Amino acid sequence: MTSRALILSLTAVLVSPAFGQGDADTVAKIIEEGKSRNQTRLILESICEQFGSRLTSSSHLEAAQQWAMDKFKSWGCENVHLEKWGEWQVGFDRGPWGHVGRMSSPFQREFQFTTPSWTPGTKGLQKGPAVLGPANIEEFNKNKASYKGAWVLMPSLAGGGRQGGAQSPDAKAREELQNALQGAGIKGLVTGTRGELVITSGNYNVTWDKLPKTPRVTIRKSDYDAVTEALKSGKPVRLEFDIKQAFRKGPIAINNVIAEIPGTDKKDEVVIVSGHYDSWDGPGSQGALDNGTGSSVTMECARILCTLGVKPRRTIRFILWSGEEQGLFGSRGYVKDHAAEMDKISCCLVDDGGTNYWGGFVGIESQRSMFEPTITALNAAFPDLPMKFSAQARMPRGGGSDHASFNAVGVPGFFTIETGVHDYNYIHHTQHDKLASAINMYMVQSSTAAAVTCYNLASAETLMPREPKQ
């Protein structure tokens, strides 16, 4: 028996018409297309290699959004468009390569480092001595001349005390110190991480007339320790940084990407498949697993269904969110702008757990039967990557991804149970968020699971059950 015939026979048995969901033949075709001709890896490679990291408000994200819309259109999706959810006063672009961070003497050491987004670059390679920063304003005044033209190490900015036992100043005193150092003409501030992961973040809420002025660099703990040990040896220590980044004058329109497969007799009801397209943008990061993988799964789900020409009863809406990393802004804006439509949204599926596979769903007991046909079919197709449904008393509250925006207004939002061998914390917002970490087998299962799930739910007799309003 051929592999396609086997899938057809298994699915016909496992996906019973009694569930009132998608027909068995179409589900089998989805599984075959997803397993045999999957393009999730190719989509992810295009995103990471053409555009790199995609910070909200950056030109990289805007270019990647246009590319995604072109792909959705080429596959046959309808109503493909950008949907604006807000404006920011200042945008930010970081160069994809060419960043330099190192100690050049008393010996050479290349750093792993980042800088906060929405902070200034260095305007070329800047060389200068390394000096320990002052513990307080009194120490600054005493040694003011030593800070001019220097890279100033400030462990207090990273949350630790100054070497030698002095405690971090409070926020007001810290701000006073930073302003004083800036006025003294320093090259920039250098802090260390708590461990070997270099995590990028940043404050988007800046204005053009009050832009930050001082470069701020965060280096890996082992690199920071190497610099401080060299300083303790009494030898002159010199650092070099070339930080290629710049502000964009706003207002910057911020958008989500929307694409659809229209429904038939229940066209005004919607199943959403989604992932956030934006990422943090530290040097070395490609935004691959957070969340290039989820975005690629969403796009491949659309390609599979369009290729097969499926005709779901409900509209399947594909959304690539932005602003997720800064506070779920894209999905919150969508929920607010579409408030009148929330009763017609069956559910929102969110893929934002890195490269691990779709291990199932967490919801309330009344939703179990809605997922059983999908889980049964997928467990037959991917026996080594099992899925499950886990029931609890209430839908999950909170959460760090876009499903939370829907659960907050009573629309079922599902963050898939991410299952597999990959350590998500190792790449989350760090220098390791690169294409090389993506696991192909998991992406094949995830995108196929997304396609089967949304097709079945969009073909069901009813909307996804809601929990009783509290």
Where are the domains positioned within the chain? 3-91+250-459, 99-243
Cα-based distances in Å from 188 to 55, 127, 152, 217, 340: 23, 11, 6, 8, 50
* Cβ count within 10 A of residue 113: 27
3-state secondary structure the chain: CCHHHHHHHHHHHHCCHHHCCCCHHHHHHHHHHHHHCCCHHHHHHHHHHHHCCCCCCCHHHHHHHHHHHHHHHHHCCEEEEEEEEEEEEEEEEECCCCCEEEEEECCCEECCEECCECCCCCCCCEEEEEEECCCCHHHHHHCHHHHCCCEEECHHHHCCCCCCCCCCCCHHHHHHHHHHHHHCCCCEEEEECCCCCCCCCECCCCCHHHCCCCCEEEECHHHHHHHHHHHHCCCCCEEEEECCEEEEEEEEEEEEEEEEECCCCEEEEEEEEEEECCCCCCCCCCCHHHHHHHHHHHHHHHHHHHHHCCCCCEEEEEEEECCCCCCCHHHHHHHHHCHHHHHHEEEEEECCCCCCEECEEEECHHHHHHHHHHHHHHHHHCCCCCCEEEECCCCCCCCCCCHHHHHCCCCCEEECCEECCCCHHHHCCCCCCCHHHCCHHHHHHHHHHHHHHHHHHHHCCCCCCCCCCC
Q: What is the pLDDT along the chain (470 residues), one digit of tens a residue?
A: 444 554 444 544 444 443 469 999 999 999 999 999 999 999 999 999 999 999 999 999 999 999 999 999 999 999 999 999 999 999 999 998 899 999 999 999 999 999 999 999 999 999 999 999 998 999 999 999 999 999 999 975 543 333 333 444 477 888 889 899 999 999 999 999 999 999 999 999 999 999 999 999 999 999 999 999 999 999 899 999 999 999 999 999 999 999 999 999 999 999 999 999 999 999 999 999 999 999 999 999 999 999 999 999 999 999 999 999 999 999 999 999 999 999 999 999 999 999 999 999 999 999 999 999 999 999 999 999 999 999 999 998 878 899 999 999 999 999 999 999 999 999 999 999 999 999 999 999 999 999 999 999 999 999 999 998 87
Cα(424)–Cα(430) distance, rounded to whole angstroms?
10
Query: What CATH number does domain 99-243 carry, 3.30.450.20, 1.10.3720.10, 3.40.50.300, 3.50.30.30?
Result: 3.50.30.30
Tokens 């290629």, residue located: 244
Cα(229)–Cα(454) distance, rounded to whole angstroms?
56
Q: Supply the pLDDT for residue 13.
A: 43
Cα(32)–Cα(26) distance, rounded to whole angstroms?
10
- In sequence order, the β-bridge partners of residue 316 are 261, 271
Tokens of 87: 């404006």
Asked if 78 contacts 261 with a C-beta cutoff of 8 angstroms, the reply is yes
State residue 447 phi and psi, 5-degree precision.
Answer: -70, -35
Cα-based distances in Å from 191 to 217, 274, 297: 6, 36, 37
What pTM was computed for the model? Answer: 0.93
Q: 245-261 and 238-242: which strand pairing? A: unpaired
Domains 3-91+250-459 and 99-243 share a fold: no
Asked if 399 contacts 414 with a C-beta cutoff of 8 angstroms, the reply is no
CATH of domain 3-91+250-459: 3.40.630.10
Cα(454)–Cα(219) distance, rounded to whole angstroms?
43
Q: Supply the pLDDT for residue 420.
A: 96
Tokens 């070395």, residue located: 284
Q: 357-358 and 418-419: which strand pairing? A: antiparallel
Cα(339)–Cα(148) distance, rounded to whole angstroms?
55
Tokens of 389: 């449904």
Q: Supply the pLDDT for residue 156.
A: 55
Interaxial angle between packed helices 440-459 and 24-36, expressed in degrees from 0 to 180 and rounded to the nearest 10: 160
Q: Supply the pLDDT for residue 325.
A: 98
Cα(132)–Cα(147) distance, rounded to whole angstroms?
9
Q: Supply the pLDDT for residue 157.
A: 52
The candidate with the shortest Cα–Cα distance to 385, out of 364, 355, 413, 365, is 355
Q: Supply the pLDDT for residue 164.
A: 39
The candidate with the shortest Cα–Cα distance to 91, out of 215, 204, 203, 210, is 204
Q: Supply the pLDDT for residue 6.
A: 47
